[in-house]
Every structure is written in structure tokens, then in C-alpha cells.
């Protein structure tokens, strides 16, 4: 399986070529969309229909270990993003 990461500029160029927008407008649209996603995730309520849900979880402090040196250390508490895919997305991917 080939993994390919898309960059914002690649998405903006594709949007520009398919819809005929200037590249600067396409970049602005992509940046604004990502900023809206970030704001919604911070409010803990980003649900994209037929795609899935993003939510923030709080992870507790825990003990970790470096497998190479067996050194034990404490991993600090932190917030993390969790994505749960919708049944429709899973069905379409399979």
C-alpha cells in the first residue's frame, strides 16, 4: 500500500484547476476550512456527516519505559484528538 500525504498547496492547486479559482483564493479557502475544523475540534463538536467524528480526550499521567535502555519515566497528562469513522465511510472503503 502506497502512503501519500497531501499538502495544502496540492489541494489548493487541484481546487484551482477543477473549479477555475485563482490559486490565491484556493489557498485562502483551504486555510479557512482548516481553521474552522480546528475551532470546532477545540469546542469538542466536529461531526462530519458520512465521514466521522473528531473529539478531544484527556489522557492521564502514566508510567512509560524506553524499550532500548529500559529507563522508566513519567508521561505527563495531555489532550489528544480521536477520530471515529462513520459506518458509511467504512462501508465505502471496504
Average pLDDT over residues 70-89: 91
Average pLDDT over residues 66-84: 92
pLDDT over 60 (residue 78): yes
pLDDT for 94: 83
Query: How many secondary structure helices (H) and strands (E) does the chain include?
Result: 3, 5
- Compute and round to an integer the Cα radius of gyration of the chain: 19
Q: What is the pLDDT of residues 14-72, one digit of tens each?
A: 889 998 889 999 999 999 999 998 898 888 778 889 899 988 899 999 999 999 999 99
Cα–Cα distances (Å) from 18 to 11, 22, 33, in that order, read 11, 11, 18
Q: What is the largest CA-CA distance in the chain?
A: 57
Rounded Cα distance, 28 and 34, in Å: 10
pLDDT for 1: 53
At the fourth CATH level, which superfamily is domain 8-93? Answer: IHF-like DNA-binding proteins (4.10.520.10)
Burial 19-44 (b: 16+ CB within 10 A, else e): eeeeeeebbebbeeeeeeeeeeeeee
Hey, where are the domains in the chain? 8-93
pLDDT for 2: 62
pLDDT for 3: 65
pLDDT for 30: 92
Amino acid at each position: 500500500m502506497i502512503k501519500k500525504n497531501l499538502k495544502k498547496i496540492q489541494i489548493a492547486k487541484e481546487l484551482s484547476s477543477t473549479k477555475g479559482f485563482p490559486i490565491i483564493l484556493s489557498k485562502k479557502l483551504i486555510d479557512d476550512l482548516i481553521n474552522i475544523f480546528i475551532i470546532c475540534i477545540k469546542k469538542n463538536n466536529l461531526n462530519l456527516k458520512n465521514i466521522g467524528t473528531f473529539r478531544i480526550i484527556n489522557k492521564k499521567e502514566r508510567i512509560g519505559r524506553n524499550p532500548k535502555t529500559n529507563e522508566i519515566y513519567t508521561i505527563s497528562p495531555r489532550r489528544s484528538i480521536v477520530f471515529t469513522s462513520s459506518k458509511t465511510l467504512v462501508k465505502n472503503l471496504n
